[in-house]
Amino acid sequence: MSKSILVHVTGTDRPGITFGLLEILASAGADVLDMEQTVVHDRLNLSLLVDIPESASTVKDLLYYGWQKSMAIEFEVVEAEVSTPPSPIRHAVTVLGRELSAAALAGVADAIAGGGGNIDRIAQLSRTPVFSYELIVSGGDAGDMRSRLLQSSAHHGVDVAIQREGLGRRAKRLVFLDVDSTLIQDEIIDLLADEAGVQHEVVAITASAMAGELDFTESLRLRVALLAGLDQAALDRAQAKVRLTPGARTFVRTLRRLGYTTAAVSGGFQFFVDKVGAELGIDHVFANELEILDGVLTGQLIGPIVDRKRKAELLVELANREGVPLEQTVAVGDGANDLDMLATAGLGVAFNAKPIVQEAADTSVSVPYLDAILFVLGIRREDVEED
C-alpha cells in the first residue's frame, strides 16, 4: 500500500538540495508523480507530488534532511487520482512595462480569473529594458481572457500578450520586420522629401492616402515623382539621418544567435533597406526600387510595388523557401499596410502601432524598445545578455 503526499520545500537555495531530496525518495521506493521548482531571489520553492509506501520512514527522513539543510518541509496527504483528467488548454500571458506595479499585475490576474483561467506558474523574464513577466494559465476562455486583458492593459498602461502555450509558440523560426517606424525610427520618404524641398507636398499626399482618397500604390508613385532630380549625394545625406529603433541591434543579433531567420520588408526603398539590413546582419531584405539614371532619380519606380498585399505574399514566399510553416513565423509592423502581413504570420505583433493595427494584431507592444518583443517570444533576459 502507498499514499500520495504533496511535499513543499522552502529555504535558501544552494547546489545539491534537490538531489538530496530525490535521493531520499528513491531510497524509499517512492514514485514522483509531479514536481515543480522555482527560485525567487535565492529562495527555493519546490513542490513534489509523490506516492510513498506506507511502511517507509520517508517523512521522518525528509524532516531530518530539512533540519540538516535549514530547509522548511511541509506535507499534505492528498487523494490519489483514479484516472488522469485531460490536460486543460494552456496559454502564456506576457506582461510588459517600463514599470509593473502591484495594481497592474493584480489587474492582469483579475482579467485571467474573470475569463475562467487559473495561473499555474509565474516567471520574471526581464528587468531591463522593461520589466516583463510570463504567466502560464490553464483553462479559461481565450477570447474572454483576451478581451479582459486588453481592458486591463489600457487601464494600467502596460502591454499584455496572450498566446496558446505549447511547442508551436517555442518553435518560431522566421521573423519578418517592417522597416519605417519599426526597425528604424524614421520614414524614408520624409527624409527624401526634406532633401528635395517638397515636404509639404509629400505630407498632403500622405494625408490623402490616410483618408482613403488614394491607395498606397498611387500615393507612393505621386510622392516618388516629386523626388525627380535628386542625386546620389542627396540619397547619402538622407541615409546618414536614418536612426535605428532602440533595441534593434540587440533584437536582430539575439534572433540570429538563437537560429531564427530574419527579414526586413518595406514600402520604402531598396537603397536604404539594403544598408540597414547589412548593418544589422538581416538575412533577407525587400523594398521598392527607385529608378536612377546617370546618378539622378527619375521620379519613377522599377518593378512591382511592395504594398500591403505584396508584404504578405513575400512572407509566404520566404517561409516556403526557408521551409518554415506559417504558424512558425512572426511579423512585426506599425501601419495599415502591414495588416495583411500581420494576419498571415503565426504571430502578428503591432509595434508602437496605429490603433487600427493594435486592434487587428495578435498582440501589441507599446514600449519604445524593439528588443522587448523577445520577451513576447518567451526569451529571457539572460538569454539576450549572452550576446
Query: Looking at this protein, which amino acid is placed at residue 267?
Result: G
Question: Which stretch of DSSP H or E encloses residue 358?
Answer: helix 355-360
- Buried-exposed string 50-85: b where 16+ CB fall within 10 A, e elsewhere: bebeeebebeebbeebbeebebebeeeeeeeeeeee
Inter-axis angle of helices 216-225 and 188-196, to 10 degrees?
30
Which residues are catalytic, by number? 178, 180
How far apart CA 174 and CA 328 sit, in angstroms, is 7
Query: How is 93-120 classified by DSSP, letter by letter?
Result: EEEEESS--HHHHHHHHHHHHHTT-EEE
Please say whether the beta carbons of 149 and 110 come within 8 A.
no
Please say whether the beta carbons of 342 and 350 come within 8 A.
yes
How far apart CA 128 and CA 383 sit, in angstroms, is 13
Residue 71's nearest CA partner among 17, 16, 15, 24 is 17
